[in-house]
Structure 1
Amino acid sequence: MRKIWLLFGALMSLGMLMLFIWRSPQHSVLGSAVVPKETSLSEKTIRYEQQTLAQSKVHVLLIPSQSRFLVTPALSPHLNTVEEFAQKHRAVAIINGGFFDPNNQKTTSVVVLQGKLVADPRQNERLVNNPNLKPYLAKILNRSEFRRYLCGQTVRYDIVLRNAPPPTGCQLIDALGGGPQLLPELTLEQEGFVDSAHSRDALGSTQLNARTAVGITRDGSIVLVMVAQKPKTPTNSGMSLSALADFLKSLGVQKAMNLDGGSSSSLYYNGKSFYGKVDLDGNFIKRPVKSVLIVQL
């Protein structure tokens, strides 16, 4: 009988040990996925930082690859501030998006939501009927866009020209137009329509200004950047587009696209809003916009 009790006790101890190992912090279960210890939840959440540079303050959001968050466009029938977009979509973060005409509040950038074209620059008569833009119209309608694909069960992001087909086995879910591309190369002439011979530079690409951009790193993480001017030097602060490209490259970004900048530059994160453009009195301009990129769970 004593041997039986000793054997029973040993089995109980072994069972408790196995239960302890199974419940140990080496593995945690999220839904059906097993997350190793080295991939903690904190490493899969948004990281925000501010960098104060000589001529600007830069707000940076990093959305890690394979995290719980999705980065998608959102569109408003009427112009809205990033706070208004945040209230409507209950987003974790928002950054201003593509170009638009403030006079008629119509888009000049493509927006695709759930596979449907919901904002088409070809429907903007002030754009397509502008004689000064006729030579550039074909390229304006084929500018770069930030895309979200569904490839099987995997979400994938990319930055490509509007006319580029989806990769084999992938379905285009969302897209937000912008331009020019900043990385891997700066396409100022092709997409920014810079024409030095005729002193044309609609984006003021070489000037210091508030800027906004979206980028993708090698591992598929998304980087959102908003460059703000300094209130004490409103006419001599911000970034040029080439400087913005260099800054993004320093963050490990491999593909990047310029978004609407200047007075449109705005960012919402964690209940706070930040604006990029400063007026002559040193006050930040709170300008409503047509489209945004939102970060949601």
Structure 2
Amino acid sequence: MPELVISDADFLRFRDHFYRKTGIHFEPGKRYYVDKRLQERMKALGYESFRDYFNHLRFDRDQELQALTNLMTVNETYFFREVYQLHCLVNSLMDEVAARKQPGERIRIWSMPCSSGEEPYSIAMMLLEEWANLSNWDVEILASDIDTAALDKARQGRYEQRAVHSVPTHYLQRYFTPDFNAGRKQYQLKDDIRDSVGFTRVNLNLPAEVRQMGRMDIIFCRNLLIYFDELSRRQAAERLYEVLRPGGFICLGHSESMSRISPLFRARKFPDALVYQK
């Protein structure tokens, strides 16, 4: 097969299409990264011209878009990343949310994008170990991502050493089972933790999919909005605001600031972290 050429016009055409579908905006500096993944899909499907592949992408009823999205999204993460926010969750946020609830009401936490599951499972372990009032409340942890391959891995709950390097030793012993696969040491999450998180695919760029998640008390949306442009970030903030219950909280990544995105939230400084409140 001859070299698959993607012109400047092709790149811009694809970039605009992908942006409309996902809200993810690729700067010119990402050109090499994008071209390589487009070429990978073109080769896999046997297309020799970008035009033919792009027509397939547009009219394939989203199956090809999903396959390409799985390639384009970055899923590098690990357990207990930015752990100070998890301390804020158990030391401050959960008690404040519970104080607004009636006995028997459910507390709902949403992790998105959840990638391969490290974040929502970290939340579950932290609540079990550190929140003294957990037994008094029905807590539901939901997790979503646009990448279906990442969600499949999250449901399996099997991780390499690099993913668990920040897990406290007693957590590792209590919630994981060591396993050797092809000579590599891996860690399998035990079923009780895997069963504590519900995973589903959600595209934050589609309001109907966001609304289907229902009302939330706490949202972890870390290191996603940095991939959006200004308009998409503002629209995403509005959608998250809509599903948060009054007084609900949203946690962003350390390099993200809701104050620069939307006036809908107010910053709250807790001893462990800065978060944003509806």
TM-score (norm 1): 0.29
- Which entry has the higher C-alpha Rg, 1 or 2? 1
Q: Which protein, 1 or 2, shows the higher relative CO under an 8 Å CA cutoff with sep ≥ 6?
A: 1
More helix by share: 2
